[in-house]
Amino acid sequence: MIALIQRVKRANVTVGDRLTGSIEEGLLIFLGVHTTDSAELIPWVARKCVNLRVFPDEDGKMNRSLLDHQGEILVVSQFTLYGNAEKGNRPSFIESAGAAVAEPLYESFCEELETQMERPIQRGEFGAMMDVDLVNWGPVTISIEKRN
């Protein structure tokens, strides 16, 4: 499981002309699920996301977590994070879990984040063609991966 995390000033996701999720300052998390992933990975990845110290303290140093900052979360499923372009120019996605595996893990990940945050989070729409609009703050982009 890979979480590509971007610290944002704001972000939103639309499907067609319908807004599915929108946040102000916080984390935009693109979540990729590998074919070997299982639910046991979710608490660790979620805990890393909410406790990652990427927000500025009073001295401007990245020393505060999302919980400290009282930021928001927007999670977007993204199977292309496990795209492999070693051979040729067209990426292969055989390492990305199919929807039957990935969607329940995505939903469980979102639920775990809500539990750890003790409040609702925002989401994209699994499997949809989404437009993601964001203002990366920094920019700060961190990748966290945990595999079985």
Which two structure tokens, joined as six digits, stand for 27?
């984390």
Q: How many CB atoms lie within 10 A of CB 47?
A: 13
DSSP for 123-138, written as a single string: E--TTS--EEEEEEEE
Q: What H or E segment, with its residue span, contains residue 64?
A: strand 62-64
Catalytic residue list contains 80: yes
CB 21 within 8 A of CB 77: no
Active-site option among 14, 20, 36, 80: 80
Query: What residues are labeled active site?
Result: 80
